[in-house]
Amino acid sequence: MLTSDYDFDLPDELIAQHPVEPRDASRLMVVDRRAGTIEHRSFADLPELLDPRDVLVRNDSRVIPARLIGQRLATGGKWEGLFLNDRDDGVWEVLARTRGRPALGESVAIGEPPGLSLVLEGRGEGGSWIARPSPETPATTLELLARFGAPPLPPYIRRGRADAADRERYQTVYARRPGSVAAPTAGLHFTADVFDRLAARGVATVDVTLHVGVGTFRPIEAETVEDHRMHSEWADLSADAAARLNQAKARGGRIVAVGTTSTRTLETAAASGRIEPFQGRTNLFIRPGHAFHAVDALVTNFHLPRSSLLVLVSALAGPELVRAAYAAAVRRRYRFFSYGDAMLVLG
The residue-averaged pLDDT of 174-196 equals 97
In this structure, what DSSP letter does residue 50 have? S
Q: What percent of the chain has pLDDT over 70?
A: 99
Q: What is the pLDDT of residues 255-302, one digit of tens each?
A: 999 999 999 999 999 999 999 999 999 999 999 999 999 999 999 999
- On the question of pLDDT at 132 being above 90, the answer is yes
Residues 6+ apart with CB under 8 A from 307: 6, 219, 220
User: How many Å apart are CA 305 and CA 283, to the nearest integer?
Assistant: 20
Q: Which of 345, 312, 268 is nearest to 1 (CA)?
A: 312
Q: What is the pLDDT of residues 91-103, one digit of tens each?
A: 999 999 999 999 9
Q: What is the pLDDT of residue 137?
A: 67
Q: What is the pLDDT of residue 320?
A: 97
β-strand 255-258 against 55-59: which pairing, if any? parallel
- On the question of pLDDT at 347 being above 70, the answer is yes
pLDDT band at 89, cuts 50/70/90? confident
Pair 18, 326: CB distance under 8 Å: no
Residues 6+ apart with CB under 8 A from 247: none
Q: Report how far Cα 127 is from the mean position of its chain's Cα atoms.
A: 22
User: How many Å apart are CA 279 and CA 268, to the nearest integer?
Assistant: 10
Q: What is the pLDDT of residues 136-181, one digit of tens each?
A: 667 899 999 999 999 999 999 998 889 999 999 999 999 999 999 9
b (16+ CB within 10 A) / e for 60-88: bbbbbbbbbbbbbeeeeeebebbbbbbee
Q: Which of 342, 272, 285, 281 is nearest to 312 (CA)?
A: 285
pLDDT band at 127, cuts 50/70/90? confident
The residue-averaged pLDDT of 226-247 equals 96
